[in-house]
Amino acid sequence: VITDQNVNKLYHHDLQRYPLIEFAAGEEHKTLETVEFIYHRLLELGADRSSFLVGVGGGVVCDITGYAAATYMRGLDFGYVATTLLAQVDASVGGKTAVNFHGFKNMVGVFNQPRFVLCDIDLLKTLPREDIINGLAEVTKHALIGDSDLFHDLEAQPRKILDLDRKLLEDTIERSLRVKIGIVEKDEREVRERRWLNFGHTFGHALESLAGLPHGRAVSWGMKLAVQVSVRKGRLQEDVAARILRLLEVMGLLPDVHCDASQLKKAVRTDKKKTGDALKFVLLQSIGRPVVEDIPLVELESLIDDLC
C-alpha cells in the first residue's frame, strides 16, 4: 500500500496489515524524489513483478502510485482507493499519471490504467470541508463540458453537497464519473475529445504552481478565465458566462488570488498543450458543449494582459 502521512494517520488501523509505504502529504511532494523514495522502499520490501501496488489517498497519491507502478521493474499492476472527492470524481480515473518537475505541473508521466478504482463515500467523512470544495471544481468542470443537467442541479442547490448528503454525493460522483469515463473511452490518449477534460487547466495548472492554490481552486480560476476567453472569442453568451461564474463563486471556489500577467504568460508557454506557436485551448460554446481551438500564443498573451 502506498499512502501519504495524513491518510495513514487516519486509517492506520486498516492499512497496517499490509506492507506500507508512506510519504509526506501535499502537492510539493508529487516529485521524482518521492518516486525514488518509493523505489527504495519497494526494494527494501522485496517487491517483484508479481507485487500489486494499491495507492490509498487523494490525487497526489494516485498520480505517484500510478507512475511508480508504471516504471518499477518496467511495470507492476496497481489499483486505487480514492480518498478525496477530487480523486473519486477525477484523478483516480482515466489512466493519466504524472509528477511535477522543476515547478512545472505533471511534466513527467505516462498513461497507465489501474486494475481497479474504489470510491467509498464513507472515506470522505474525514475529509476537510476545504477539500470537498476542491473536489466540486472538477465536478463542475464535468458538468460544463458534458452534462448540462448536472450543472442545473448544482446551480439549484450549490452548497447542499457540502453537508455530505449521502444520496446526493453518490449521485453526483456517479454522474461526474460518467462524463469522464465516456470521454476517456472515446479517446484514451487525448488526441480528440479527451482534450475537453483540460477545460480550465491551462491557466489552472499555471496558477496552481504560481499562486500555490490547491488543484480544485486553481482549476476554478482557470475555468473562470477560460469562460471569459470564450466570451471574448464570441463563442459563449455573456449571460451564460455570468451564471457559470456565479456558481463557482457561491461554491467558494474563487478565493482572492494575485494574478501576475507576466508570470502567467511564462507558465502558459510551457503548457503541454502547446504546439509550435499556438496552444490547444478549450472554450465553451454553451453549458455542456466544449470546443477546442488553436489560439496563437501572442493572442493568448494579450488576453492574459486584459484579463489580469
Ligand X SMILES: NC(=O)c1ccc[n+]([C@@H]2O[C@H](COP(=O)([O-])OP(=O)(O)OC[C@H]3O[C@@H](n4cnc5c(N)ncnc54)[C@H](O)[C@@H]3O)[C@@H](O)[C@H]2O)c1
Cα(179)–Cα(197) distance, integer angstroms: 9
Q: Which is nearer to ligand X, 61 or 161 (CB)?
A: 61
174 burial type by CB count under 10 A (0-12 exposed, 13-18 middle, 19+ buried): exposed
Q: Which is nearer to ligand X, 87 or 267 (CB)?
A: 87
Residue where the block lists cell 451564471: 243
Q: Which is nearer to ligand X, 180 or 224 (CB)?
A: 180
Write down the least CB distance from residue 26 to ligand X, Å: 6
CA contacts within 13 A on the Cβ side of 47: 28
Contact by Cβ (8 Å): 218, 289: no
Instruction: Pick from 2, 6, 76, 195 the residue near ligand X by CB under 6 A.
Output: 6
Write down the least CB distance from residue 239 to ligand X, Å: 30
Which residue lies nearest ligand X, judged by its C-beta? 59
Going by the DSSP 8-state scheme, the letter that residue 215 receives in this structure is H
Write down the least CB distance from residue 17 to ligand X, Å: 19
Interaction of residue 158 with ligand X, rule CB under 6 A: no
Q: Which stretch binds ligand X (CB under 6 A): 13-21, 120-128, 160-168, 241-249?
A: 120-128
- The cell for 281 is 485551448
Instruction: Pick from 42, 69, 79, 131 the residue near ligand X by CB under 6 A.
Output: 131
Number of residues that bind ligand X (CB under 6 A): 30
Contact by Cβ (8 Å): 163, 129: no
CA contacts within 13 A on the Cβ side of 225: 28
Instruction: Pick from 16, 126, 157, 302 the residue near ligand X by CB under 6 A.
Output: 126
Q: How far is CA 215 from CA 194, 293, 299, in A?
A: 19, 24, 26
Interaction of residue 10 with ligand X, rule CB under 6 A: yes
Cα(194)–Cα(94) distance, integer angstroms: 10
The helix/strand/coil state of 88 is: helix
Applying the rule CB under 6 A, the residues between 73 and 102 that interact with ligand X are: 83-84, 86-87, 90-91, 94, 96
Applying the rule CB under 6 A, the residues between 187 and 226 that interact with ligand X are: 215-216
- The cell for 213 is 492554490
Q: Which stretch binds ligand X (CB under 6 A): 24-32, 67-75, 221-229, 233-241?
A: 24-32
- Binding residues for ligand X, rule: CB under 6 A, are 4, 6-7, 10, 25-27, 30, 57-61, 63, 83-84, 86-87, 90-91, 94, 96, 106, 123, 126-127, 131, 134, 215-216
